[in-house]
Structure 1
């Protein structure tokens, strides 16, 4: 599907439609400003205005209508903000995970919104336009979150934004936004992003930077420190090297069908490296791991203070991976509860000194 949308000439999106039966043609409407949770539909009607003075030819008529709800704003807001209430009602397609990569990969799209048509074109720098005219002649703005993602995959800026300096931060932005969108079946999470993953994999010479986010629904949870993810993306190209004791011994990734970016049904990563065994403790302000000598602050992969995730006093293995100057970065692992002898990643530690891991024992770990 991703290749179909990437190579299409024009994508027509029934953005207003709640399901496949909605189609492109309907009586358009705007939401009532008095009902935020379930907005009442107001038809978009034109009214003839009586003209007191005759026109030159005597045939002109003047019509007025209520201003269109700014559909282009709804198209960009799928999580948070004062207007999120209306997006599910007025632009349900914008909340669907399956439609996300189609929107980013299509060279040009006409969105049939509940109130107006919007135009999204990647052939020139992030051209957005709409019937109400608010977006007319707007310049491409790198500060626009959607525009940055959009221009990473189509248009003349794609080669720049998909360069090694930006690729991992672009990927992090994409999966953060994608994880907020709605899916009926959890098994579709990876296939629904496979097209974008393929683009990223071609640039990084790997399948994708990580799938660790894929078990998370950010409608109810959020990723932890965005800064730490950007930090690692920067270090990836900023001179960080792999610790000599860290080595990948074996790996396996089982997918449904031949698409390596599709639905994953199993896999593991067998590694060896320098480790420190720490203990986890909750703190009012910070999450801490500690041993007999010191305590470290760390970042959860997912912000979920639930004892089913990591229990108070549970042992955590910190495995050294990357080194840059005197600083080092480690991944945090806990035993997998349903598979003996296996581990799963739960977070990262950055900005530790290399001395912390000098003399550390080496351990072989099977990560799932």
Structure 2
């Protein structure tokens, strides 16, 4: 298939693009290479597949409608995976306009282009952050998600609402995937695994918020990519059992779906740090601090709907995943 992947120099986008090329798809990558974190990491990810004959790369911004329109007109994608977004919960507290431009303006540009070019399926990144102040565990797509605790989360919930509108009005098949704490080789340096690894190898204390009581549904990158591909290959269809009197937030009478994609096995943050210390061969002091604004205490993905519909089955334990991450980290950052 001809597949457009936005955010193709990003963590999930680059791993997905590699897999799509390996199975024979033709891919147009779309990425603005912004400096939210070190752009050299994005260049290094891109170098893994940039020379592939079935790959074309476009450096452009989703918020620029003419750039998006031209990409669709020139490439004529059959399916689209939208992974480009302004990421980060804490950054959204101080840079709100960046999230509006990328996650809202950029997303409506994608929706409009998909509609006009009759794309067969749009898969887009949502986030576990949409569960916000919810405390029922595990988080299920049937739960209401009306109390976000960060602007980032609010934009991701908005994406789901915008996608449903296009599915309902124009019959565009859309599927949102609520990612749960993705980690692994080539990960983002603003996320906890690399932040923790940096401190461990330097022998510096680690700040652990919520006094170490956080738990997260850490999900290895390979399992995430497998789930994205399985979802991409199963375009959303109307739910024949959808009841407008008792609506299911995860489906619709329109060709619309929302799924959790996680490991379905939350891990205490202190245990995660301990495993990372083991694989990096060093222990450091942990400074226990109060919870930060915008954070949530726990995440846990109920992935039963994704298992049922596409056969999703995460297979990588946190211990195994961190061993692979640590090996990559030591090689990439030249740690002895």
Q: TM-score scaled to structure 2, two decimals?
A: 0.25
More helix by share: 2
Question: RCO (CA 8 Å, sep 6+): is it higher in 1 or 2?
Answer: 2
Structure of greater Rg: 1
